[in-house]
Amino acid sequence: MNQVEQRVEAEKARWRTAERFAEVLDEEIKAPHRPLLVRVITWFNLCRLSQELEKELVLAEQPAPADLQLHRALLSLAIGSGEFLVLSCAEAGELKPLHLTSDSLAAKIESLRITFEQWHTELKPERQRAALQEVFGVTS
């Protein structure tokens, strides 16, 4: 095996590890026997994993389709797990030790959705105009 093939295989192994780690984190997030605070911290670690992959994608000259697919899957997993956590927050003060509220979690979920939209959907002209108007007050 030449050096290029070795590098490709090493990268594939690294992303397989990231994928497996994400699965383990998701299982912990959804484990009802775990304290809510532990599940929330674990969820933020899952979000961080998708952000780390995103950094790699930004730095890549041409991101590999498999890397983009993994990023899409990680974001989807983080969004779904986050929604699960919001549903688990029965009392307003449960997240207080972390200086968070369920609204904080909802804001992070929305941020993940925006990231997903930016990376993995085509921006339709109507949506582009609306975004420009919303952010910059630009009309076209």
**Mean pLDDT, 10 residues at a time, the chain of 140 residues:** 77 81 93 93 95 87 85 94 89 86 92 90 71 68
Residues spanned by the domain of 36: 3-136
Q: What is the pLDDT of residue 127?
A: 67
Spatial separation of the C-alpha atoms in residues 132 and 137, rounded to whole Å: 6
Q: What is the pLDDT of residue 123?
A: 64
As to burial, measured by CB atoms within 10 angstroms (0-12 exposed, 13-18 middle, 19+ buried), residue 136 is exposed
Q: What is the pLDDT of residue 140?
A: 57
Give the chain's domain count: 1
CB of 119 closer than 8 Å to CB of 68: yes
Q: Is the pTM of this model over 0.85?
A: no
Q: What is the pLDDT of residue 64?
A: 82
